[in-house]
Amino acid sequence: MRIVVGHLFPDYLNIYADRGNMAVLARRAQWRGHELEVRALGQGERVQPGEHDLFYVGGGQDREQELIAPALAALGPALQEAIAGGAAALAVCGGYQLFGRFYRDQSGDELPGAGLLPLHTVAGERRMIGDVLLECELEPGSPQTLAGFENHAGRTILEDGALPLGRVVAGFGNDGQSGFEGCRSGRVLGTYLHGPLLPRNPWLADWLLTQAIAHRSGEPPELDPLPDELEAEAHDVSAERARTRGGRF
């Protein structure tokens, strides 16, 4: 089966190894006999209903985020419609912030958000930088862990009733104090864990692929297990880093 990923503004939002996450999705689809096509969604392009099975948006530096925020916000309604129609999304780092309602910088200026996640972000004084480990349970009864790295000045505040992506075992998370990280709204996930998130957490890649294939075919697939020994080793080293040197105030 052929599934299509819409990669939002890769020219602007690509600071942390986002193409690694794309490569993992593509290979793991291919190893199961599917074909995954990544289509860049640049400035001035439109989202056609039903075209994309999964959306991905990565992080950028402040300047690039400022340059692209209005264009991303303008796509908000079309993305909302695609997601209501069954597409999934993963937003990472700066893209996570821009998937919320707004981002307010240190001088009080606001960047508009796409409004796909019930949250907003306010720039703080100290950056929150370090290894991080989460516990999450995207499917009831199957708890998992996510190991990664965070580097953000923004404090992200979830609205009442909003679900976090996970509980922080070690590291800062959304704001350094709530004990939670990321946000989940149905098939839309947002997280500060940047860079090689999917290589060392392949279960999340498979969860996203499952959503994407279900959108395309109309029913959730059974994905064959893959030999993930290297992935598990990379995850365990990263998790150990978070436990011993993860950020805390």
Partner 1 sequence: MGLVPVPLAIEIGLARAAARLSRLVGAGGGTTVPGKLLWKLDPGAVDRLAARLPRGSALISATNGKTTTAAMVARILEPSRRLAHNRAGANLVSGVASALVAAQDAELGLFEVDEAALPEVARRVRPRAVSLANLFRDQLDRYGELELVAARWREMARSLATNATLVVNGDDPQLGDLAGERPGSVVFGLDDPRHASPELQHAADSKWCVRCGTPYDYAAAYIGHLGDYRCPSCGNARPPLDVVAREIELNGLESSSFSLVVPEGTRRIELQMPGLYNVYNALAAAALSRALGASLADVQAGLQGFSAAFGRFERIRMDERSLLVLLIKNPAGANEVVRTLVAGAPPRLLLIALNDEIADGRDVSWIWDVDFEPLLGSLERLIATGERAAELALRFKYAGLAPDAIEVVPSLEAALDRGLELTPPGEELAALPTYTAMLDLRALVAARGHARPYWEDAA
For partner 1, which is the closer residue by CB, 51 or 62?
Answer: 62
Chain centroid to CA 147: 13
Residue 238: what are its φ and ψ, rounded to 5°? -65, -40
Packing angle of the helix pair 62-74, 76-84 (nearest 10 deg): 60
Selected from 1, 27, 118, 210, the binder of partner 1 by CB under 8 A is 27
Cα within 13 Å of Cα(145), Cβ side = 19
Selected from 129, 157, 163, 214, the binder of partner 1 by CB under 8 A is 129
Q: Which of 34, 52, 93, 152 is catalytic?
A: 93
Selected from 44, 46, 63, 141, the binder of partner 1 by CB under 8 A is 63
For residue 180, the minimal CB distance to partner 1 (Å) is 22
For partner 1, which is the closer residue by CB, 14 or 80?
Answer: 14
Which residues within the stretch 190-209 sit at the binding site for partner 1 (CB under 8 A)? 194-196, 199-200
For residue 119, the minimal CB distance to partner 1 (Å) is 22
Give the integer Cα–Cα distance in Å for 7 and 41: 6
Contacts of 183 (CB under 8 A, 6+ apart): 96, 100, 117, 118, 119, 156, 158, 162, 163, 164, 165, 174, 189, 190, 191
SS3 26: helix
Which one of the spans 8-16, 138-146, 166-174, 206-214 is the region binding partner 1 (CB under 8 A)? Answer: 8-16
Which one of the spans 48-56, 76-84, 115-123, 227-235 is the region binding partner 1 (CB under 8 A)? Answer: 227-235
For residue 49, the minimal CB distance to partner 1 (Å) is 30
For partner 1, which is the closer residue by CB, 34 or 194?
Answer: 194
The answer to whether 181 and 219 have CB atoms below 8 angstroms apart is no
For residue 11, the minimal CB distance to partner 1 (Å) is 8
Amino acid letter, residue 22: M
For partner 1, which is the closer residue by CB, 46 or 63?
Answer: 63
Amino acid letter, residue 3: I
